[in-house]
A and B are shown apart, each in its own frame.
Chain A
């Protein structure tokens, strides 16, 4: 049994209309059927683009948003079913670190008061001195000076504020910390410090993390297992290195191909998958596979009718795609959405209008690298990005 286990968690926000007597006109399916498990001491990374529901999922674990359906089993208890007061008490063991370090600190509280609040709510420490001692210990752990106690959030730098946020979670001695974009609001140099701090703390205290981020490098660095989210559901889950070495789901492939490579030669020639279209509205998600509207490997059958489940393809690598094996073996080639026709707009005017998709699917993957290698002379990086 894992420490934290989610099964088929759904968070749907009702869309209401009306002034006094409102009616529900629809649901935003922010999280739509996610199952995952996090082992004690492990770090689970959640990635995905903005609006895919990763933050909502993080909040659903702590029940900061109402869970529509499904189970969140933490250490044997289903949090989704707990009464309000018991849920409040169990939040001591599940803590959260927020994205905006300043916004998540009450500007009118000083640091001591911020850190004491959680202890107060859970009855930890009898006297003020006892609490202060504990606070000082935690401040020391996160690398903040003692005299920070009497100061206010606006007097600190971004990195320090995030340390305060981490200290606030730590002071309750939780088992799990959910880090919602813990570093995305920070400078790159500070990001490294905070991530290292998180890792140190995990080593020292045996913490379990769920890290939510959109920065692939950050997630890779810190996570043991990574789940890739798209439109409210997981499309792929794998051990960190495995996922980066061989992404299987088309969406993961596209995501990974967006990361620039430091080596210029590789960068110029590497294959880029460009997704067309926008993220569909989560209040009206596409039928079948959620990704089929943007998938370069979309097939005429199954994709738009049948929703693929997350299936294990070996070694803990789970993918939600009907054609994962065919794509991996090269049997299926990407169709329209690879770049050549995009490049056509700027580079080669009306060469083959209309016939793009047929032509591209015939050429397959070579079509993708072909124009890219031709491009650098004229278009440089911009053309490479298109390809």
Chain B
């Protein structure tokens, strides 16, 4: 063993690493560069560890390694050959995060829920057994006398207070609910990120003037944050009148300050990072520093927030509808409105409230699960 100096160690290096290489394959290939002196490492690295598959072939041919290859080494090599993704280029952080996401149970459950929800929202009107608005069984339901029709063969989830098929209404309503969630979140995200991004960029790299801009913008955002979100939403909805658009805007506006603060804070943290200083010392222009370095590295938390906000937006939109500020157009059923309208009959037909409520809860849960999983996947502490 003592005769083994630097020379034989060199090829061995990749052999030993794959033991944990299965878990973190990206760490093993570049390793040889560190071994040996800088002058010596250039040549061996290029030849031995040049390309992962080539390495394997070369190493088997080498008599030195063959003789030394114990059972453990063979197992290691097998693990290496099977486990290694044979790419010559590495993984970006996004790719790595996606891979972590894929192996998270939470993410998968969340994604499945969201997937089902989205599919329903798209094909809902086509698979709905009956028209969601036609009061086809009007003669069977007498809400003033407390006579309701529960689940039965032709109406799986029963009828609502006007004798409409509940299942059809739920299926068609999914689209509206999803639309409210997405549009509201988009409003919050786009406007919030714009404000936060400008503010953060100004503060981080704009000098004294930038600091002033940031201070003014952020005090404004603080004022928005100081108002209770539901109160703010109700006021907006009250000013704009009852409609689905109102609900979307009201819910979206409430999210603006959250997104703005989050992105600004995240950008600020990145602006003080060493690599930004390094970019400045390289002579990179400010605009490029903000766009290519600060912004992409600040987006992680904001993207996570987006999924979480999707959940709350659906719930808040339901709350606004429940308060009577939502869409009153009966032709377009929406879960929040359905929930609101069923409250009058809650003691006689509780299930009419439970179905849309369950739909909202499960969908929100799906988005929350995915958001949490994304937060974990993007967490810098988990970076290998």
Where the two chains meet, the residues of A that have a C-beta atom closer than 8 Å to any C-beta of B are: 19-20, 59, 62, 64, 88-89, 91-92, 95-96, 98-100, 103-108, 110, 117-118, 120-122, 140, 142-152, 154-157, 159-160, 163, 165, 168, 172, 190, 193-194, 196-197, 200
Contacts and interface: CB of A to CB of B under 8 A. Distances in A.
Given A145-B45, A160-B34, A200-B38, 14 more contacts: A62-B281, A88-B283, A106-B293, A118-B282, A121-B283, A140-B42, A143-B45, A163-B38, A168-B278, A172-B283, A190-B34, A193-B38, A194-B38, A200-B39
B93 A152 contact: yes
A91 B26 contact: no
Interface centre among B39, B277, B296, B384 (most CB of A within 10 A): B277
A180 B276 CA distance: 15
Contacts of A197: 38
A8 B320 CA distance: 66
Given A107-B297, A155-B30, A122 B283 contact: yes
A121 B288 contact: yes
A255 B173 CA distance: 76
B265 interface: no
Contact of A121 (B29, B285, B296): B285
Nearest to A192: B37
Interface in B288-304: 288, 292-293, 296-297
A108 B45 CA distance: 25
Interface in B1-55: 26-27, 29-34, 37-39, 41-42, 45-46, 49-51
Contact of B90 (A19, A150, A193, A200): A150
Contact of B37 (A92, A104, A108, A196): A196
B62 interface: no
Contact of A150 (B89, B279, B383): B89
B91 interface: yes
Q: Please classify the interface of chain B as helix (H, G, I), strand (E, B), loop, or mixed, using the class held by over half of its residues.
A: helix
Given A121-B285, A140-B42, A145-B49, A103 B33 contact: no
Contacts of B26: 151-152, 154-155
A145 B88 CA distance: 12
A134 to B, nearest CB: 15
A64 B94 CA distance: 30
Interface string B259-282: 000000000000001110111111
B35 to A, nearest CB: 10
Contacts of B215: 19-20
Contacts of A120: 284
Contacts of A98: 274, 277-278
A117 B284 contact: yes
Given A103-B273, A155-B26, A157-B34, A145 B46 contact: yes
B282 A172 contact: yes
A131 to B, nearest CB: 14
Interface centre among A20, A106, A144, A148 (most CB of B within 10 A): A106
B92 interface: yes
6 contacts: A88-B285, A92-B283, A100-B274, A104-B275, A117-B292, A152-B90
B219 interface: yes
Contact of A159 (B34, B46, B88): B34
A253 B363 CA distance: 70
A108 B296 contact: yes
Interface of B: 26-27, 29-34, 37-39, 41-42, 45-46, 49-51, 88-94, 215-216, 219, 273-275, 277-285, 288, 292-293, 296-297, 380, 383-384
Given A118-B283, A151-B89, A157 B31 contact: yes
Contacts of A168: 278, 282
Contact of B51 (A144, A147, A151): A147
Given A108-B296, A193-B38, A200-B39, A152 B30 contact: no
B38 A121 contact: no
B281 A196 contact: no
Contacts of B30: 144-145, 147-148, 151, 155-157, 160
Interface centre among B31, B94, B280, B384 (most CB of A within 10 A): B280
A152 to B, nearest CB: 5
Interface centre among A99, A105, A156, A163 (most CB of B within 10 A): A156
A197 B42 CA distance: 12
Nearest to A111: B90
A110 B283 contact: no
A383 B144 CA distance: 94
A64 B275 contact: no
Contacts of B380: 107
A132 to B, nearest CB: 13
6 nearest A-B pairs in the assembled complex, by CB-CB distance: A150-B89, A151-B90, A91-B283, A103-B274, A104-B274, A118-B282
A117 B278 CA distance: 11
Contacts of A160: 30, 33-34
A73 to B, nearest CB: 19
A265 B88 CA distance: 55
B290 to A, nearest CB: 13
A160 B45 CA distance: 12
Contacts of A151: 26, 29-30, 89-90
Contacts of B46: 145-146
B277 A117 contact: no
B275 A144 contact: no
Contacts of A163: 33, 38
A1 to B, nearest CB: 24
A143 B93 contact: no
Contacts of A157: 30-31, 33-34
Contacts of A20: 215-216, 219
A108 B89 CA distance: 13
A95 B282 contact: yes
Contacts of B297: 106-108
Contacts of A146: 46, 50
Given A20-B215, A160-B33, A196-B38, A64 B280 contact: yes
A104 B92 CA distance: 17
Contacts of B34: 157, 159-160, 190, 193
B92 A110 contact: yes
A143 B283 contact: no
A150 B33 CA distance: 15
B11 to A, nearest CB: 14
B92 A155 contact: no
A143 B88 contact: no
